[in-house]
Amino acid sequence: MNVDAIMALSIEDMAVFCKKKGFVYPCSEIYGGISGFFDYGPVGVEVKNNIKQEWWKTFVTARDDMAGIDGAIISNPKVWKASGHADCFTDILVECQKCGNKVRADHMVEDALGQQTDGLSAEDLWKLIEENDLKCPKCQGPFSKPTQFNLMFKTVVGPAESESSVSYLRPETAQLIFTDFKAVVDNNRMKLPFGIAQIGKAFRNEISPRDFLFRSREFEQMEIEFFTHPKKTDECPFFSEIQDLNLNIWTSEAQEAKADHEKMHLKQLVSSKKANSWQAYWLGMMLRWFMDLGIRQENLRLREHLKDELAHYAGACFDIEYNFPFGWKEIHGNADRQQFDLSQHAKFSKKDMAVFVEETREKVVPAVATEPSQGVDRAFLAFMFDAYDDDSNRGNVVLKLHPKLAPFKAAVFPLVNKLDKEAREIHESLKQELPCFFDRSGSVGRRYARADEIGIPYCITYDFDSKKDKKVTVRNILDTKQARIEISGLKDTIRGLVNGDIAFEDLKPEKA
Ligand code: GAP
């Protein structure tokens, strides 16, 4: 990966690249688009699906202490009263008195003064606006005093529009996990501690969507609510698996002292009582997941929330941040939600949310010791930035995605069109098992470049020797080294390379 290339690549450049190569398009662009909405194109949808599948496989199906659900986007509006979203899910808005431009106050102050605004109240922001005489970036007009703007998307359910027919598109997937909690516990006979996971769409009427997919109005989340006995949030039996991970951690003290993040072991978060051991464990698992799928450790850090910044439901809260060209930004949130949600739903629904604990023969309302909440689209962006390499030697972009995330695992080329039939047979056989691309147009060099740009890890060329030796040339995207591989074992070889069971070096490649 070329660090200079990353520095040079802005978020706008990434949006252009994604559109040009079929990863992501502005939604309904033929009508001028709509701010904060995007469509994933043919290769983008494959990468996005791979991200979701890898997450689900690692954290749901490969574990004994996890169950999954797929909740509805629209639910009984009482859900959002109980959760607090209907009344409190707001951002602070200021409006230009001259041109009517409405902007998110913290973002405007951050842009104008270049200072962090996490945790600042409406009063704090107004003070900064007044003191620094900040004006509308569009027309230089003065701003009115800040107001709270609710981010919930309202909708009408059924044919008759009345107060009782109004509901909301969910702003997070989490609440459906709480409303289905008792049903899942009963169906799966879950015993504490355990988690419930969900992947799905969420909607927020962001005041000013920006930075491409980073802040959109429709996005996807992969969330886990991890339930423990309220007195056992610090009894994670797997803690030793991650305690020695040495990561960039930006503590609240360092932020207040305007100091940089520091390398720290995850166990220090627990020994200093900043996080319970379940929360530290899940932060470690999520960071490891990103690193296993190719993100470089130095581009990731943990940021502890400041006291003033904590959400209404949260004890301790941490973000995983990625070092984007537009700064370190949150890609993952993790809150210790305690008993807030289940208690709220018990109160509003008048249903018992307590579970029976056999060892102590008592009924308890479980605590959410940790809520790993991952945005799919922000994960997609981080993977794309980390993979992007504008390779001046090759003269084209090389997207070094982890093979598990790549939209196609291999591309098959006939060296010349005369060999089309044999190459197609290989493609037909491979694509039954692995997403595989066929390309016969242009020179092989041009075809390599096309494959590099969309992150295809292995290019397979059928040439004149293939007829005789029953082998093909496989080229590795990372260093362009090539190896001759038996056609009969090709499927196993590519599968092994993608899964990491075989290293390309094991194939005894020759220099590019
Ligand atoms: N249930 C907790 C929750 O929703 P959050 O920090 O508001 O917490 C979690 O959101 C994650 O969802 C974020 O870290 C981010 O990855 C993603 N996300 C939130 N708002 C987003 C937006 N407007 N556009 C894209 N992703 C967003």
Mean pLDDT on 206-214? 96
Which residue has the CA at smallest separation from atom 4 of ligand 1?
172
pLDDT at 1: 45
Which residue has the CA at smallest separation from atom 15 of ligand 1?
375
Whole-prediction pTM: 0.96
Q: Which class would CATH give 408-507?
A: alpha beta
User: Which stretch of DSSP H or E encloses residue 376?
Assistant: helix 376-387
Which residue has the CA at smallest separation from atom 6 of ligand 1?
333
329 CB contacts (<8 Å, ≥6 apart)?
A: 211, 214, 321, 322, 378
Minimum mean pLDDT among 258-272, 274-288, 307-321, 392-406: which range? Answer: 307-321
Could you tell me the distance, in angstroms and rounded to a whole number, from the CA of residue 116 to the centre of ligand 1? 19
Domain extent listing, the chain: 3-74+154-386, 90-150, 408-507
Identify the CA nearest to 491 among candidates 416, 419, 436.
436
Residues 340 and 314: their CA atoms lie apart, in Å, by 8
CA distances (Å), 132 to each of 127, 129, 180, in order? 8, 5, 49
pLDDT tens digits for range 16-26: 999 999 999 99
Per this entry, what is the length of the chain?
512
Could you tell me the distance, in angstroms and rounded to a whole number, from the CA of residue 488 to the centre of ligand 1? 46
Q: Which atom of ligand 1 is nearest to the CA of 332?
A: 14
pLDDT at 215: 98
Mean pLDDT on 466-471? 96
CA distances (Å), 291 to each of 70, 299, 325, 449, in order? 27, 10, 19, 26
pLDDT tens digits for range 244-260: 999 999 999 999 999 99
Strands 362-364 and 396-399 come out as: unpaired
pLDDT at 512: 65
pLDDT tens digits for range 122-149: 999 999 999 999 999 999 999 999 999 9
Ligand 1 proximal residues by C-beta, below 6 Å: 172, 174, 204, 206, 215-216, 219, 221, 223, 330-333, 373, 375, 377-378
Mean pLDDT on 347-363? 96
Q: Which atom of ligand 1 is nearest to the CA of 206?
A: 23
Contact of 120 with 67, CB cutoff 8 Å: no
Neighbours of 401 (CB within 10 A): 23
- In the predicted structure, residue 2 carries a pLDDT above the cut 70: no
pLDDT tens digits for range 48-75: 999 999 999 999 999 999 999 999 999 9
Residues 178 and 353: their CA atoms lie apart, in Å, by 9
Could you tell me the distance, in angstroms and rounded to a whole number, from the CA of residue 205 to the centre of ligand 1? 12
pLDDT at 170: 98
Q: Which of 106, 118, 208, 219 to mutate to test the pocket of ligand 1 (most atoms within 8 A of CB)?
A: 219
Identify the CA nearest to 171 among candidates 203, 208, 213.
203
Q: Which class would CATH give 90-150?
A: alpha beta
129 CB contacts (<8 Å, ≥6 apart)?
A: 94, 105, 108, 109, 143
Q: Which class would CATH give 3-74+154-386?
A: alpha beta
Share of the chain above pLDDT 90, in %: 93
Q: Which band of pLDDT confidence, cut at 50, 70 and 90, is reported for residue 161?
A: confident
Q: Which of 107, 378, 380, 381 to mutate to test the pocket of ligand 1 (most atoms within 8 A of CB)?
A: 378
pLDDT at 119: 85
Mean pLDDT on 424-448? 96
Could you tell me the distance, in angstroms and rounded to a whole number, from the CA of residue 201 to the centre of ligand 1? 11
Q: Which atom of ligand 1 is nearest to the CA of 171?
A: 4
Average pLDDT value for the chain: 95
pLDDT at 7: 54
pLDDT at 307: 86
- In the predicted structure, residue 397 carries a pLDDT above the cut 60: yes
- In the predicted structure, residue 446 carries a pLDDT above the cut 90: yes
- Separation of first and last alpha carbons in the chain: 18
Mean pLDDT on 352-377? 96
CA distances (Å), 70 to each of 73, 175, 178, 371, 484, in order? 9, 12, 12, 17, 45
